[in-house]
Every structure is written in structure tokens, then in C-alpha cells.
């Protein structure tokens, strides 16, 4: 039996098994007669986890103790919709180089090493209508992670070498965009 025929056979059996009504063991004659167990879903209430700081910043907190990590995401009111026409792509570059370009206190490569040593990450990007920066760090290293995260957000250096690297990568991406036939319009 070829792989294609076997796969088609398995998909057919799977579809039949899914459509069997669990209460009668019979295949229903119409989809409206399918019966499912009721599902209970109780999402957290955002109002219980919403805090407004004195500076007007709104913080949402969601505890999850399944992993010993601390994750934080900052959403920033910005976006490429504010790029000047003559500088299209500026926001995307700023979003990337915000993180890779280091800070006034720590060069980009040293920041990479510190984050690697901590087993943590800081990421940033700017899309069309918002910017995002995120931190993921082990719970035991929260203090160090938050210091680095705050430094990236408040003291970005935008190292010239990292800006040039970003530009070169974008130019290469444009040059190679037709290398994959699926990407050609």
C-alpha cells in the first residue's frame, strides 16, 4: 500500500470516528444531530488583574505558576503608520535595533552575552499600529532581567554597526525575495 493511499485511508477512518455520536454509537444522518459534552471555560477577569500606575501606565497581571519563569510584555503606542513617506521602514528598524543595538550602559553584544548567561531573552519590534518589547527570564533572576529590560527601553543606544547590519539584511531579503517561487506574485 502506498503512503498516499494509506494516509487517505487513515484520514477517512479518523473522519468517520469523529462523526460518531458518543451517546448512541451511531453515525448521525445530519450534522445538527451531533452531540458533544458541555465544556466549561472560565477565563480570568482582566479587571481583577488591571492596575493603573500613577504615571498613567496600565498594567495587566496574570499569574501562572506552571513554569519558574517571569514573562513581561510592554505594548507601546507607536507604529509604522507614523513613518514619514521618505523613510518607510524606519519604525521596523527602530523596533529591531532597539534590542540589538544595546544601551548607553551595555553594548549590544555584551547584552546578548548577559541574556544568554541568564537564560533569558528580550525582544522588541514595531508593527503597523503598535510596538512591543518583551522579557522572559527565570523567576530567580527577575531583578537582573527587569534592570536589563528597563535599560533597553529607557536608554537605547542604536549602535551604528547594528543599524548597518539591519539595513544590509533587509537589502539581502529584497534581493532574494524571488528565490522561492512561492513568494513570487
Nearest to 131 by CA among 183, 90, 71: 90
Phi/psi for 38 (5° steps) reads -70, 145
Per-residue pLDDT tens over the stretch 137-155: 999 999 999 999 999 999 9
Q: Mean pLDDT of successive 10-residue segments in the chain (185 residues)? A: 76 69 63 82 74 87 87 94 94 96 96 96 96 96 96 96 96 87 73
Under 8 Å between Cβ of 58 and 112: no
- Mean pLDDT of the chain, nearest integer: 87
- For the question of whether the overall pTM of this predicted structure is more than 0.85, the answer is no
Three-class secondary structure assignment of 95-118: HHHHHHCCECCCCHHHHHHHHHHH
Amino acid at each position: 500500500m502506498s503512503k498516499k493511499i494509506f494516509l487517505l485511508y487513515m484520514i477517512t477512518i479518523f473522519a468517520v470516528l469523529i462523526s460518531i455520536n458518543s451517546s448512541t454509537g451511531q453515525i448521525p444522518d445530519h450534522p445538527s444531530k451531533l452531540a458533544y459534552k458541555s465544556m466549561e471555560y472560565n477565563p480570568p477577569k482582566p479587571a481583577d488583574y488591571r492596575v493603573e500606575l500613577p504615571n498613567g501606565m496600565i498594567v495587566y497581571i496574570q499569574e501562572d505558576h506552571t513554569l519558574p519563569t517571569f514573562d513581561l510584555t510592554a505594548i507601546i503606542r507607536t507604529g509604522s503608520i507614523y513613518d514619514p513617506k521618505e523613510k518607510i521602514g524606519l519604525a521596523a528598524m527602530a523596533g529591531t535595533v532597539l534590542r540589538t543595538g544595546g544601551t548607553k550602559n551595555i553594548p549590544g553584544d555584551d547584552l546578548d552575552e548577559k541574556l544568554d548567561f541568564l537564560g533569558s531573552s528580550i525582544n522588541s519590534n514595531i508593527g503597523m499600529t503598535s510596538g512591543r518589547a518583551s522579557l522572559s527570564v527565570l523567576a530567580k533572576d527577575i531583578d537582573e532581567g527587569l534592570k536589563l529590560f528597563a535599560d533597553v527601553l529607557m536608554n537605547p543606544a542604536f549602535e551604528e554597526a547594528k543599524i548597518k547590519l539591519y539595513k544590509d539584511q533587509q537589502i539581502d531579503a529584497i534581493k532574494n525575495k524571488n528565490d522561492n517561487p512561492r513568494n513570487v506574485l
